Structure 1
Amino acid sequence: MKHKLLRQIGKLYQKQHINNLLRRGISRNNRRLKFLLGIIAGFITVTLIAIYLTGRVTSVASTQTTSTIKTYTLPENNTYISSNTDKYTTSATNNYTFSAQDTYTPPATNSYTLAATNAYKTSWIGNSFGGGNKWVQIQVSDMYVTPDGTVYTNTGWDEAGREVGIYKNGDVIGKADDLHGWGRQGGDAIAVDQKYMYVAMLQAADGKPGEDYPPKGTTWFCIRRYNLSGKVAPFPQGRGWDKSMLIVSTKDKVTGLATDGQQLYASDKAANLVHVYNTATMKEIRSFKVNNPSKIALDKQGDLWIIQDKNKIGHYSPTGKQLPGAIADVAQPSAIAIDNKNRLLVADNGPRQQVLIYDIANKPKQVGTFGTQGGVYSGKRGEIGDLKFYGLSGVGTDAAGNIYVSNVGFNRSGVDLRKLSPSGKLQWQLLGLQFIDNADADIGTDGANVFTKDEHFVMDYTKGSGKEWQYKGYTVDRFRYPNDARLHTTPTAAFVRRLQGKRLLYLSSEMMSERLLMYRFDGEIAVPCGIFGKGKEDWLTNEPTNSSWIWIDANGDGSPQTNEYQTTGEKDDSVWGWEIDSKGDVWLAAETGYIKHYRFGGLNAHGCPIYSTKAVQKTPMPQPFKTLTRIKYFPEQDAMYLSGYTSDRPNIDGDWGLVGTEIIRYDNWSKAKKIRWRIALPYEVNRDPKLHIKAMDAIGNRVFAASSKTPDVFVYDATTGKQVQQLKPGPEVAGEGGWVDIPFGIRAFRRSNGEYLVFVEEDLKAKVLMYRLPG
């Protein structure tokens, strides 16, 4: 396998994936769709993407207490053959032979019957709902609120298909149909009148000959008309397969929409135009010039207020005449609305993080604000509060003057949707916080504090499923630490460690495991303090480019300087495995056949962990591995867990980024590297969906392995290597689980009472699964 080329292809795929340019779909009749490949033509083949990093939903039975557990047989020809039942047995001749000193013979049988004490509970964190028909979408790009308080949202992509969400009274009540797959996505604008909603969306070339789709290489940026329950509302001369689309541009997105019930106004930023359409016929009436038009609000006189440049809001008549009263004192206007008093509400996504209120009866005059100045960074920085906003993407109001805001953090941190009374009292809050994310628990508080890449949750394990967590802190500080890698890359999973009494956060970065990020804490804020990097980074200007490198924050400012870098002298391009052990040592495992061990050098004066290129040991991967993918080490036991592919069980399908076919435990690692056991992992490449392992972890006396394309977690005894349990999502989450995308998509923690917490990435419904297993 050409590892470097595949990683480059994967990195390109991932960038498009995160930026909504290549999207996953859910097909008609529950069959997965074809993917939108025209956007990145020439780089990624249909086969590679369909095999590996695609969107998906798997629904499983609700049973959680099972009597018979899947185990796996290694036949003599090293091919895994599934029986017709859900039971896999190990043959009596399942001997694993390595060198003369390392022969391991497993027991004759590997079937297990679980007693009732092995029951477990399924729970989750990060979403207000568990799944099924109800979940909060992963992003909100625009929002409209009707007089009765119904909230309509739009965004380019939601993993489970709620690009347009409909919410009311703190509940999910619907979504718009058919915006997920067949080259269709949502968009950045939405408007609603008494009869229809108008949705900005895109349609890519994905149809059959004779169907009304764009020609190859062309994308339609459209307005699609729906009724208020989310069903398409076609019209004469409508475009698309169902004649419900109005093509606005083939160059760029529709960036703003507003309607008075008779006329629909649409911002076409690529052409510097605002188009005006008749809402009954959807025919264009006129258009007029506006520079950089974005979000639009219509006041009670019918005049338009249009966000234009970074800090400008223009004022126009319905015919396009520029009117006096432009507003230019908002740092970063991101959303706009008119309230029940005909005042202009402007969401300022700059340092203020507030809604600014303007009297527009004559010359616009700011007459008030809504929300705490500084938002989530006021008071105790990062601490969530009812009036502490962060990443404002939408604002609206109902007939009673209640104010609605959508917070999305920075660089896709999820959704925090709130309704507040005119006096600022929280009426309800809906959360959908997790995407390409996983959690870890703080050993210093026995798991009472749980962290994801951006969020801090406080846990109460006496409560029922989905109710254990409380959203405590948003740990990214965009304004104080603008070079935080979380603002520029896509971190994926948390490692929480206690070193010298201090809590530290480590994050794997990108779905390709490109780098390891390090953070110290200042209250709720995770302050950047180190990076293990691999070369050029787009958001940095002074990093080494010809070698892998380490950055340690020497002056405590959270931003890399030239004199703070160390170069390793080689590029670690093939690293999939990262580990931070309990002593703070960093381990990395490279596919190309080596392990690096960086020793923890204590904390510097600012609380940053110290690592040095002079305190590293490089070790060849041990037998019987041919490819190394993951690593886990316990210094107290000197026990090493490695995974990958072996000559006995090779990578016969060419897949990459997976755990592999085996996990092997080595005892007395630092001296003898003696094999204790070998686990033959589930690996069935001829079934649909494929069964193979994407992520692994170990804690206490358990080893956990998460399947990539099926919602299964296989549980093994860490002493014997025998399978003892199998976890599936339970009825608490409607038996659903999406694919595990990220290399560290499972994380295990053991509480002092013996209970195991097992966190699993769950992108489908914007949450993290949490299995609770008795000790």
Structure 2
Amino acid sequence: MRRTGFFLCIALGLSLSVTHAEAAPSRVLDAKSSWIGNTFGFGNGAWTQINITAIAVAPDGRVFTNSPWDESGAEASVYRDGQMLGYAGGTHGWGAAGGNAVAVNSRYVYVAVGVGNEKGRLVKEGVWPRSGRHWIGVTRRDIGDMKRPAPFEDGIAQKALANDKDSRAVLARSFLTINDTPDDARQDIGGLAASDALLYVANTSQDRIELYDAASMQKKSQWSAPQPGRIALGADGSLWAIVESRGEHPRVVHYGASGQTLSDAPRLAADSMAVDIALDKQGRVLVADNGPRQQVLFFAKEGSVYRESSALGERGGIFSGVAGKPGPRRFNGLTGVGVDAAGNVYVSANGIGTHDGPIGAGLGATLESYAPDGTLRWQMQGLLFVDGAWIDPGRPDSVYTGNKRFELDLSKPAGQEWKYAGFLSGRFRYPDDPVFHVDQWPGLPIARRLDGRTFLYLTDMYADHLKIYRFDAKRDGELAIPSGFIAGRPRPVQNVPNRPEGGEWIWRDQNGDGRFDTGEFQRNPGAARITGGWGWWVDIKGDIWRTSDVKGIHRLRYGGLDKQGNPVYDYANMQTYPVPAPFTELRRAVYDAASDTMYVTGYTADEPYDRRYWKEVGRRFVRYDHWSSDARARYSIDLPWDTQAKPLSTVIGITVEGQYVFAVEPVGDVHVYDKDSGREVGVIKPGAEVGHASGWVDVPNGVSAHRRGNGEYLVFVEEDARGKVMMYRWTPQS
């Protein structure tokens, strides 16, 4: 049961004794549910997956996808005419994973997947690999219903499991093992192609292309190919392939039906990065180029060879013109291309490309369809994952997330208020951007206006380090320029270019080039260490607050802007406040610079830390007035804490805005407290617009709020499950 207690004017250094009172059930507030960043809000059960690394297009325009990961299990999905039709299932968790290739024929969908054993915990012959091993292979599904496995009869596992009706056994009978590998040496399938007679598999790590009977799934033949990636089957039985696909300069090769190399393949430009290949009804070869061009290239046969005849997309993609500005034909991180029978072209992208691991799940999946004349037919977006949102302090209808900007029109219906306005990560212009080097996802945003300029601060999923970005719209459009970085532990920053050994350093872009240059790092010379802890906060004056679990609260004071326009932070200008009573361990500290008020959460001797709930803000919340001079606790309240509840009832994120404190549970419910008294006003719950559902809030600062001029509050909540950020609209009743 949640309890509430109030304490007035208690000195910071004194221990607190708490009197508890039973609390009535929280009142559900009248808030409108909405979202940003996904074409669908799950109100009708649909969402756009968070990553797409491969597509296959059926003649009727259905688009089948694949990816290594979607948080809600839609790694392999099917779309048509801008609608999600469903997903395969059986590709997510509990020993199952997606992959990077997919193909179709008239009867089946073939999806590259992985099968594991959860560190030896899954044991059943033919269903799971033995301990220490991992299977890479192909699951075959009914093209009319991807959820329906299409078993075949002639494999060893298929015969052993012939009479087993268990759902995992049925999936196993529909699975063809291509590579049986050690856990630490996974050998993925780089491409698939299919006719009604044959299935072609690009076995990338084994340097070969393998052919299987499309019905029996028995191996027919193979031929050598250097690191084959995506493949496409010609009407004449020949096969087009991207080879040396893991290198810096992939090539296109044309093979005859028996595997002989033909001499008519086009030569690509030196800076091309071919990631997918397709053929249209005119016999043209389409190549998705994820290099600087960011285009789909068309090659037609001229005499004895194929030459480039046209291209789809603006040259430079999203980075051309106003860099980072999205729009039709402004591609960003191409991963797939396909064509239907009518000549419509389909393009997938994820902000980075096919070979950069899970980071693609954080940079934004898009799937687009273009008519033969290049006109956009439809677009689907799943842009956010492990991400939050923060109102742009310079533009009240502009919202920053970890690496995107959205514009709001709050006059529109739920889910239609947002417009994708900016992509912030310039991988060609700023390749040292730590979003590509330090963690799998961009980070959680705090945006501040300092000395007339806007800066974006990003914390990572585990609150280890802090990234700082500046903007220069005239020179860099929407792109965020790496400006500063505060490192924590050594391991998360081990891939930062030119970094000093270990952690505990500050980097500032002293020459303004956005690169991590030698000589731009400052190591922490003192005894006070900011490593460890779950709390980061940047106040409105630019001071950075770092909450250590047991060492207190560190304050890095804002030192103004340097000549390049970077905010200056220095270990010499750091102050540490001791752990305030009644806490024994701290988790978050939110400072209101305008009133010199500090809001702190954590654990006490009577309410100790439970290591099973390691991301939570703690069980106690205290407001301290006059923090910088004569700190005194105004009140102390219990936060929700019922670890036996289903679902779990704790608090994982907290923020302060206007008159209220907003505290979010892992299941997404937002408790609202009056900041002056600590009294709970009520709770915001997800509504019908989002299917009465919120994914797990899985980050330490997954909630933010903004009070609009008309008194309405916009409350943003990270929503892991389905590629979006929740946006609740709440107006307090007087």
If the length of structure 2 is used for normalisation, what is the TM-score?
A: 0.89
Does structure 1 residue 491 correspond to structure 2 residue 422? Answer: no
Does structure 1 residue 139 correspond to structure 2 residue 51? Answer: yes
Q: 2:190 aligns with which of 255, 259, 274?
A: 255
Does structure 1 residue 734 correspond to structure 2 residue 691? Answer: yes
* Correspondence list, 1:208-223, <5 A: 208-210=123-125, 212-223=127-138
After alignment, is 171-180 or 379-388 more displaced? 171-180
In the other structure, the counterpart of 1:470 is 419
Alpha-carbon displacement from aligned partner over 1:526-577 (angstroms, at most 9, x marks no partner): 1110001125423224222245111111111001222211122254321211
* Correspondence list, 1:372-387, <5 A: 372-387=314-329
Q: C-alpha distance in 1, partners of 2:8/2:542?
A: 36
Alpha-carbon displacement from aligned partner over 1:630-650 (angstroms, at most 9, x marks no partner): 111111100001111112311
Q: CA 1:535–1:278 in structure 2 vs 1: closer, same or farther (change >3 Å)?
A: same
1:173 aligned counterpart, secondary structure? strand
In the other structure, the counterpart of 1:766 is 723
Does structure 1 residue 393 correspond to structure 2 residue 393? Answer: no
Q: C-alpha distance in 2, partners of 1:145/1:644?
A: 52
Does structure 1 residue 314 correspond to structure 2 residue 275? Answer: no
* Correspondence list, 1:448-597, <5 A: 448-488=397-437, 489=439, 490-509=441-460, 511-522=461-472, 523-534=477-488, 536=490, 537-569=493-525, 571-597=529-555
**Contact 2:30–2:730 (CA<8 Å) still a contact in 1?**
yes
Q: CA deviation at 1:685?
A: 2.2
In the other structure, the counterpart of 1:297 is 232
Q: CA deviation at 1:218?
A: 1.2
In the other structure, the counterpart of 2:355 is none
**Contact 1:155–1:164 (CA<8 Å) still a contact in 2?**
yes
Q: CA deviation at 1:104?
A: 7.9
Q: C-alpha distance in 1, partners of 2:503/2:405?
A: 34
Alpha-carbon displacement from aligned partner over 1:366-387 (angstroms, at most 9, x marks no partner): 1111100000011100001101
Matched-pair identity in %: 38
Does structure 1 residue 334 correspond to structure 2 residue 287? Answer: no
Q: CA 1:237–1:526 in structure 2 vs 1: closer, same or farther (change >3 Å)?
A: same
Q: Which amino acid aligns with 1:295?
A: R
Does structure 1 residue 754 correspond to structure 2 residue 708? Answer: no
Q: C-alpha distance in 2, partners of 1:721/1:543?
A: 44
**Contact 2:639–2:651 (CA<8 Å) still a contact in 1?**
yes
In the other structure, the counterpart of 2:608 is 650
In the other structure, the counterpart of 2:295 is 354
Q: C-alpha distance in 2, partners of 1:300/1:715?
A: 62
Alpha-carbon displacement from aligned partner over 1:20-60 (angstroms, at most 9, x marks no partner): xxxxxxxxxxxxxxxxxxxxxxxxxxxxxxxxxxxxxxxxx
Alpha-carbon displacement from aligned partner over 1:380-434 (angstroms, at most 9, x marks no partner): 0000110110100011111222211111002321211111122221111100011
Q: C-alpha distance in 1, partners of 2:20/2:550?
A: 33
Q: Which amino acid aligns with 1:389?
A: F
2:412 aligned counterpart, secondary structure? coil
In the other structure, the counterpart of 1:233 is 150
Q: CA 1:723–1:699 in structure 2 vs 1: closer, same or farther (change >3 Å)?
A: same
Q: CA 1:241–1:96 in structure 2 vs 1: closer, same or farther (change >3 Å)?
A: farther
Q: C-alpha distance in 2, partners of 1:99/1:323?
A: 80
1:214 aligned counterpart, secondary structure? coil
Q: C-alpha distance in 2, partners of 1:102/1:565?
A: 41
**Contact 1:311–1:328 (CA<8 Å) still a contact in 2?**
no
In the other structure, the counterpart of 2:392 is 442
Q: CA deviation at 1:497?
A: 1.0
Q: C-alpha distance in 2, partners of 1:146/1:219?
A: 31
Q: Which amino acid aligns with 1:401?
A: G
Q: 2:679 aligns with which of 710, 722, 737?
A: 722
After alignment, is 363-372 or 546-555 more displaced? 546-555
Q: CA deviation at 1:606?
A: 2.4
Q: CA 1:269–1:113 in structure 2 vs 1: closer, same or farther (change >3 Å)?
A: closer
Q: C-alpha distance in 2, partners of 1:113/1:574?
A: 34
**Contact 1:96–1:104 (CA<8 Å) still a contact in 2?**
no
1:614 aligned counterpart, secondary structure? helix
In the other structure, the counterpart of 1:177 is 89
Alpha-carbon displacement from aligned partner over 1:657-700 (angstroms, at most 9, x marks no partner): 22011111100001111001112111122334432211111111
Q: CA deviation at 1:210?
A: 4.7
Q: CA 1:185–1:107 in structure 2 vs 1: closer, same or farther (change >3 Å)?
A: closer
In the other structure, the counterpart of 1:245 is 175
Alpha-carbon displacement from aligned partner over 1:582-619 (angstroms, at most 9, x marks no partner): 01111111112221111112222222111112222122
Q: CA 1:587–1:289 in structure 2 vs 1: closer, same or farther (change >3 Å)?
A: same
Q: Which amino acid aligns with 1:423?
A: D
2:628 aligned counterpart, secondary structure? coil
Q: C-alpha distance in 2, partners of 1:421/1:106?
A: 69
Q: Which amino acid aligns with 1:375?
A: G
Q: CA 1:191–1:684 in structure 2 vs 1: closer, same or farther (change >3 Å)?
A: same
**Contact 1:96–1:105 (CA<8 Å) still a contact in 2?**
no
What value does the CA root-mean-square deviation take over the aligned residues? Answer: 2.1
In the other structure, the counterpart of 1:363 is 305
Q: C-alpha distance in 1, partners of 2:104/2:214?
A: 11
Q: C-alpha distance in 2, partners of 1:652/1:113?
A: 25
Q: 2:67 aligns with which of 141, 155, 170?
A: 155
Q: Which amino acid aligns with 2:213?
A: N
Q: CA deviation at 1:354?
A: 0.5
Q: CA deviation at 1:99?
A: 7.7
Q: C-alpha distance in 2, partners of 1:396/1:487?
A: 28
Does structure 1 residue 190 correspond to structure 2 residue 147? Answer: no
**Contact 2:447–2:455 (CA<8 Å) still a contact in 1?**
yes
Q: Which amino acid aligns with 1:179?
A: T
Q: CA 1:307–1:487 in structure 2 vs 1: closer, same or farther (change >3 Å)?
A: same
Q: C-alpha distance in 2, partners of 1:297/1:173?
A: 25
Q: Which amino acid aligns with 1:220?
A: W
Q: C-alpha distance in 1, partners of 2:9/2:64?
A: 59
In the other structure, the counterpart of 1:65 is none
Q: CA deviation at 1:100?
A: 9.0
Q: C-alpha distance in 2, partners of 1:642/1:188?
A: 45
Alpha-carbon displacement from aligned partner over 1:726-775 (angstroms, at most 9, x marks no partner): 11111100011111111111111111211111111111111101111114
How many residue pairs get matched?
683
